[in-house]
C-alpha cells in the first residue's frame, strides 16, 4: 500500500521549495491539474505561440537564406521543418523521441551518437525514413569530441532550433570509478560536463535561428530529487560543498565524487541528474530573457526497460520492470516516454521556461517541484562556474 502511494509521488511528496517562480504548489500538484486548468493553460500558450509565429513570419519576409524560407501550404503559411539535435538517440528514450518527432514530418533529427552503426540500425529498426534524420558522431565522454561535433554541425549550415541533452550512463555495480578522456569521473563527466560544454557551445548558434519556439531540454530524473520516495532510496543525491567537482573529479589528488566522498556509481548518476536540473535553471536565469529560448528539464516516468540498466545485475533487470509496473506504478513504456519528451520539444503548450515537467497517471503534463537541492540557486551558480572552468570555458 505504501508503495502504491508512491505512484503519486511527483505530487504528493512535493515539499515546499523556496524562491522559485512559475512552479506553484498548485501547478505541481497532481490533483491540482484539473482538466479545465490544463485546457486553459494550453489555450493561453497557443495564443502566445501564435503571436511569436506572426513575428517570425515578418522576419522571414526579409531573410534571404533558403533554409529559412517558410513553406506555403494551400495559401497558408506554415513553419519550416525544425532541426533538433538529440544526444544518445541510438536507444531508449532518445530513440523513441526521435521516432515520435520523425513521424510528424515536421522535424529533421540530428541523432548525436557515439556509435554510428548502432544509431543507423536503430533508426532503421523503428522505421525512420532517411530524409528525416542524420546520424552525427558525438562522444560526450570526450570534450574534444564535443567540440568536433559542434564544428561539424555548424558546417552543415542547418539552423539549430531545439537541443535535447538526453544521453546518459549509469554504473550501479562499478566498484571503482572510470573516467572520461579528460579524466573526469565518467557519469558526471558524460551526463553533466559533456552536455554542459555542448549546450554552451551551441547556444550562440541557436540564438541565430529564426524558429519561433527554440528550446534547450535536459533530461532530469525523479531519483535526483530527494523530495520524492524514489529520491530517498539509498544512495541519495547530494552535491555537498562540491569539493570533488572543484578538484576535477579525477580520483587522484581529489575525490571522483562531487561531494568529495568515496566512489558510488549510483550516487554519481543521481548527482549528475541534479547537475542537469540545476544547469537548466541557471541557463534560464542567464539567457531566457535575452534569447527567448525555453529552457526545461523533465522526468518522463520510469522507463524500466531501457539500456540505462545494462550494467545492473541480471536479477535487477528481471524484477525492475514488474516492480515499477505493478508495485510503484511509475512504469512507462519507451514509446510513451518518447511521446512525452517529443511534447517538451514541440508542443505549443509547453513553452514555459525554467521548469521541470512531469506527467500524471493519465499522461497529462504538469510543472513539478524540484527538491530543495535541485532548485538551489546558489548551487546552480556554483555548478555553472566550476563546470565552465573544468570544460575550459573560463
Contacts with ligand NDP, residue ranges (CB under 6 A): 87-88, 90-94, 113-115, 118, 138-141, 166-169, 190, 219, 221, 299, 302-304, 306-308
Answer for the pair 341, 217: CB distance below 8 angstroms, yes or no. yes
Q: Is the peptide bond before 312 cis (omega within 30 degrees of 0)?
A: no
In the chain, DSSP finds a helix count (H) and a strand count (E) of 14, 10
User: Given the DSSP bridges, would you call strands 76-78 and 71-73 parallel, antiparallel or unpaired?
Assistant: antiparallel
Answer for the pair 268, 262: CB distance below 8 angstroms, yes or no. no
Rounded to whole angstroms, how far apart are CA atoms 113 and 89? 6
Query: Phi and psi (nearest 5°) for 164?
Result: -115, 110
Nearer to ligand PMR, 4 or 24 (CB): 4
Task: Give yes or no for residue 169 binding ligand PMR (CB under 6 A).
Answer: no
Answer for the pair 114, 140: CB distance below 8 angstroms, yes or no. yes
Per-residue cell: 328: 510503484
Nearer to ligand PMR, 2 or 61 (CB): 2
Q: How far is the CB of 248 from ligand LMG (least distance, A)?
A: 25
Task: Give yes or no for residue 307 binding ligand PMR (CB under 6 A).
Answer: no
Helices (H), the chain: 2-6, 9-12, 25-28, 35-60, 92-104, 116-125, 143-155, 186-187, 195-207, 243-247, 265-291, 314-322, 334-346, 377-390
Select the residue interacting with ligand LMG from 319, 361, 363, 394 (CB under 6 A).
319
Helices (H), 126-257: 143-155, 186-187, 195-207, 243-247
Rounded to whole angstroms, how far apart are CA atoms 264 and 241? 17
From the list ligand LMG, ligand NDP, ligand PMR, none, partner contacted by residue 115 (C-beta under 5 to 8 A by kind): ligand NDP
The alpha carbon of 8 is separated from its chain's Cα centroid by a whole number of angstroms, namely 22
From the list ligand LMG, ligand NDP, ligand PMR, none, partner contacted by residue 205 (C-beta under 5 to 8 A by kind): none
Rounded to whole angstroms, how far apart are CA atoms 204 and 160? 10
Name the active-site residue from 170, 211, 269, 299: 269
Rounded to whole angstroms, how far apart are CA atoms 95 and 317? 20
Q: How far is the CB of 10 from ligand NDP (least distance, A)?
A: 12
Query: Phi and psi (nearest 5°) for 175?
Result: -85, -30
Task: Give yes or no for residue 6 binding ligand PMR (CB under 6 A).
Answer: yes
Consecutive H or E run containing 37: helix 35-60
| Contact set for ligand LMG, span 326-355 (CB under 6 A) | 327
Select the residue interacting with ligand LMG from 56, 227, 305, 351 (CB under 6 A).
227
From the list ligand LMG, ligand PMR, ligand NDP, none, partner contacted by residue 330 (C-beta under 5 to 8 A by kind): ligand PMR
269 is catalytic: yes
Per-residue cell: 330: 511509475
Nearer to ligand LMG, 230 or 337 (CB): 230
Per-residue cell: 160: 539549430
Query: Quick one: which segment of 23-31, 230-238, 287-295, 385-393 binds ligand LMG (CB under 6 A)?
Result: 230-238
Q: Which residues contact 45 (CB under 8 A, 6 or more apart)?
A: 348, 349, 350, 351, 352
From the list ligand NDP, ligand PMR, ligand LMG, none, partner contacted by residue 227 (C-beta under 5 to 8 A by kind): ligand LMG
Nearer to ligand NDP, 41 or 303 (CB): 303
Q: How far is the CB of 171 from ligand PMR (least distance, A)?
A: 10
| Contact set for ligand LMG, span 7-46 (CB under 6 A) | 13, 15
From the list ligand LMG, ligand NDP, ligand PMR, none, partner contacted by residue 390 (C-beta under 5 to 8 A by kind): none
Could you give the string, one character per residue 248-287, with x where binding to ligand LMG holds by CB under 6 A and - elsewhere? Answer: ------------------x---------------------
From the list ligand NDP, ligand LMG, ligand PMR, none, partner contacted by residue 15 (C-beta under 5 to 8 A by kind): ligand LMG
Task: Give yes or no for residue 75 binding ligand LMG (CB under 6 A).
Answer: no
Rounded to whole angstroms, how far apart are CA atoms 91 and 230? 24
Q: How far is the CB of 294 from ligand NDP (least distance, A)?
A: 19
Query: Looking at residue 76, what DSSP letter applies?
Result: E
| Contact set for ligand PMR, span 320-339 (CB under 6 A) | 328, 330
Select the residue interacting with ligand PMR from 150, 206, 229, 386 (CB under 6 A).
229
The site for ligand PMR (CB under 6 A) is made up of 3, 6-7, 9, 170, 172, 221-223, 229-230, 233, 266, 269-270, 302, 328, 330
Q: Which residues are catalytic?
A: 269
Amino acid at each position: 500500500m505504501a508503495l502504491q502511494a508512491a505512484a503519486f509521488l511527483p505530487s504528493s511528496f512535493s515539499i515546499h521549495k523556496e524562491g522559485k517562480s512559475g512552479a506553484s504548489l498548485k501547478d505541481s500538484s497532481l490533483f491540482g491539474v484539473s482538466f479545465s486548468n490544463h485546457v486553459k493553460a494550453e489555450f493561453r500558450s497557443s495564443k502566445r505561440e501564435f503571436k511569436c509565429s506572426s513575428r517570425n513570419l515578418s522576419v522571414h519576409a526579409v531573410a534571404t537564406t533558403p533554409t529559412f524560407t517558410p513553406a506555403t501550404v494551400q495559401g497558408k503559411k506554415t513553419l519550416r521543418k525544425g532541426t533538433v539535435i538529440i544526444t544518445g538517440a541510438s536507444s531508449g528514450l532518445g530513440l523513441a523521441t526521435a521516432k515520435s518527432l520523425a513521424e510528424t514530418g515536421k522535424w529533421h533529427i540530428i541523432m548525436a551518437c557515439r556509435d554510428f552503426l548502432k544509431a543507423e540500425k536503430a533508426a532503421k529498426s523503428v522505421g525512420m525514413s532517411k530524409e528525416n534524420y542524420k546520424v552525427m558522431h558525438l562522444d560526450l565522454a570526450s570534450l574534444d569530441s564535443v567540440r568536433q561535433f559542434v564544428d561539424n554541425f555548424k558546417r552543415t549550415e542547418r539552423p539549430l532550433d531545439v537541443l535535447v541533452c538526453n544521453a546518459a550512463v549509469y554504473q550501479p555495480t562499478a566498484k571503482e570509478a572510470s573516467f572520461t578522456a579528460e579524466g573526469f569521473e565518467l557519469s558526471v563527466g558524460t551526463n553533466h560536463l559533456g552536455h554542459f560544454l555542448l549546450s554552451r557551445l551551441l547556444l550562440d548558434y541557436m540564438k541565430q535561428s529564426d524558429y519561433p519556439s527554440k528550446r534547450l531540454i535536459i533530461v532530469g530524473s525523479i531519483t535526483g530529487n530527494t523530495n520524492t520516495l524514489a529520491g530517498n532510496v539509498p544512495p541519495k543525491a547530494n552535491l555537498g560543498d562540491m569539493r570533488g567537482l572543484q578538484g576535477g573529479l579525477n580520483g587522484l589528488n581529489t575525490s571522483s565524487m562531487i561531494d568529495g566522498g568515496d566512489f558510488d556509481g549510483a550516487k554519481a548518476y543521481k548527482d549528475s541528474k541534479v547537475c542537469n536540473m540545476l544547469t537548466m535553471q541557471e541557463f534560464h536565469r542567464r539567457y531566457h530573457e535575452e534569447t527567448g529560448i525555453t529552457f526545461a528539464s523533465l522526468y518522463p516516468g520510469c522507463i524500466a526497460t531501457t539500456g540505462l540498466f545494462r550494467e545492473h545485475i541480471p536479477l535487477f533487470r528481471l524484477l525492475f520492470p514488474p516492480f515499477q509496473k505493478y508495485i510503484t506504478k511509475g512504469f512507462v513504456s519507451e514509446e510513451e516516454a518518447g511521446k512525452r519528451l517529443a511534447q517538451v520539444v514541440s508542443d505549443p503548450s509547453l513553452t514555459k521556461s525554467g521548469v521541470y515537467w512531469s506527467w500524471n497517471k493519465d499522461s497529462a503534463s504538469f510543472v513539478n517541484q524540484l527538491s530543495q537541492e535541485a532548485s538551489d540557486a546558489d548551487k546552480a551558480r556554483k555548478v555553472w562556474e566550476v563546470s565552465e572552468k573544468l570544460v575550459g570555458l573560463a
